[in-house]
């Protein structure tokens, strides 16, 4: 259950404005649970280390919160989490940045997923009829709800990882848009997709897409960095899949250690002015997550 709504406002340059309320993917209980697993601790051990009663920890993981601020700070210390970000989650006020500086347009296509949202993204020149599609949602009908009227064709489809909420709509997208190249991480098993290894730039008009292999959430998982060759000083867009969320990280279903290493690697090598487009929850920026994300201070 997630009741923590944070505002997601996209004000992109040139003009593209989307204002809506997007729930964070994870709330305090999810973050504590993921941090416990990352640390390899039991809830008993966390209670001893933090001095927080075991019952309160178990309640928090079950989304029942009876923690005071001092206890949250002690949990942050014991779990090596960013204290400011964890306290903000506890208060239901995790901050989100204004999204600015992209020299192209991004249209988030949001779909209900459980009690949260999963995202696909169209990226293209503002006002253009062509775009790139990053992930395809669970079905085309879900994508179509937010599909911008001006985008009539696709130049390419990029998949971050093969899970139903991110790739389930691929067959319908292909049927609707015809022969569009589909790129996916090497080893994803997506039929007909072109496997992309790390660092193979793909150019589409003035847009360049560079893939990064980022296993952890899944064995075959990629992030994509989109930039404009016409505006090299403009902010790039990091399509992060389920590696990094606003206020949290993806579940380490393949390998916890690799997810941590890839997160740290991307934080270090991606330009600090990058806008982050995660697979779930609201958009954010890399600089903002470095400052507030509970998991970004401990790597
Ligand atoms: Fe996902």
What does the pLDDT look like over 62-103, one tens digit per residue? 999 999 999 999 999 999 999 999 999 999 999 999 999 999
Nearest to 10 by CA among 94, 131, 98, 96: 98
Q: Which CATH superfamily is domain 11-23+99-292 in?
A: Ribonuclease Z/Hydroxyacylglutathione hydrolase-like (3.60.15.10)
Q: What average pLDDT does the segment 175-180 reach?
A: 92
Task: Give the pTM.
Answer: 0.92
What are 181-227's pLDDT values in tens digits?
A: 999 999 999 999 999 989 879 999 999 999 999 999 999 999 999 99
Residues near ion ligand 1 (Cβ under 5 Å): 242, 279
Structure confidence at residue 7 (pLDDT): 31
Q: With 90 as the cut, is the pLDDT of residue 1 above it?
A: no
Residue 203 CA to ligand 1 centre (angstroms): 26
Cis peptide before 14 (omega within 30 of 0): yes
Domain residue extents for the chain = 11-23+99-292, 28-90
Q: What average pLDDT does the segment 129-144 reach?
A: 94
Residue 280 CA to ligand 1 centre (angstroms): 6
Q: What average pLDDT does the segment 271-283 reach?
A: 97
CATH number for 28-90 (one of 3.50.50.60, 1.10.10.10, 1.10.260.40, 3.30.310.220): it is: 1.10.260.40
Residue 84 CA to ligand 1 centre (angstroms): 26
């Amino acid at each position: 259950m997630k009741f923590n709504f944070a505002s997601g406002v996209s004000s992109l340059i040139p003009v593209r404005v989307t204002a809506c309320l997007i729930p964070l993917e994870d709330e305090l209980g999810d973050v504590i649970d993921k941090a416990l697993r990352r640390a390899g601790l039991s809830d008993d051990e966390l209670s001893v280390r933090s001095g927080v009663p075991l019952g309160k920890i178990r309640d928090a993981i079950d989304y029942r919160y009876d923690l005071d601020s001092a206890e949250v700070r002690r949990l942050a210390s014991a779990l090596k989490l960013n204290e400011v970000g964890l306290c903000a989650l506890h208060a239901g006020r995790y901050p989100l940045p204004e999204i600015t500086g992209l020299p192209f347009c991004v249209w988030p296509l949001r779909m209900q997923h459980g009690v949260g949202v999963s995202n696909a993204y169209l990226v293209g020149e503002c006002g253009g009829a062509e775009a790139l599609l990053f992930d395809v949602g669970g079905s085309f009908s879900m994508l179509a709800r937010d599909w911008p009227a001006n985008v009539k064709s696709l130049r390419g489809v990029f998949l971050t990882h093969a899970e139903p909420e991110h790739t389930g709509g691929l067959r319908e997208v292909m049927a609707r848009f015809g022969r569009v190249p589909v790129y996916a991480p090497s080893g994803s098993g997506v039929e007909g997709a072109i496997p992309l290894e790390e660092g193979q730039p793909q150019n589409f008009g003035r847009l360049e897409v560079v893939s990064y292999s980022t296993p952890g959430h899944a064995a075959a998982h990629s992030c994509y960095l989109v930039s404009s060759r016409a505006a090299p000083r403009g902010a790039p867009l990091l399509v992060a899949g389920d590696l990094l969320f606003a206020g949290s990280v993806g579940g380490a279903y393949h390998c916890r250690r690799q997810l941590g290493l890839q997160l740290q690697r991307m934080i270090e090598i991606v330009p600090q002015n990058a806008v982050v487009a995660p697979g779930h929850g609201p958009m954010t920026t890399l600089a903002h997550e470095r400052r507030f994300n509970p998991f970004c201070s401990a790597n």
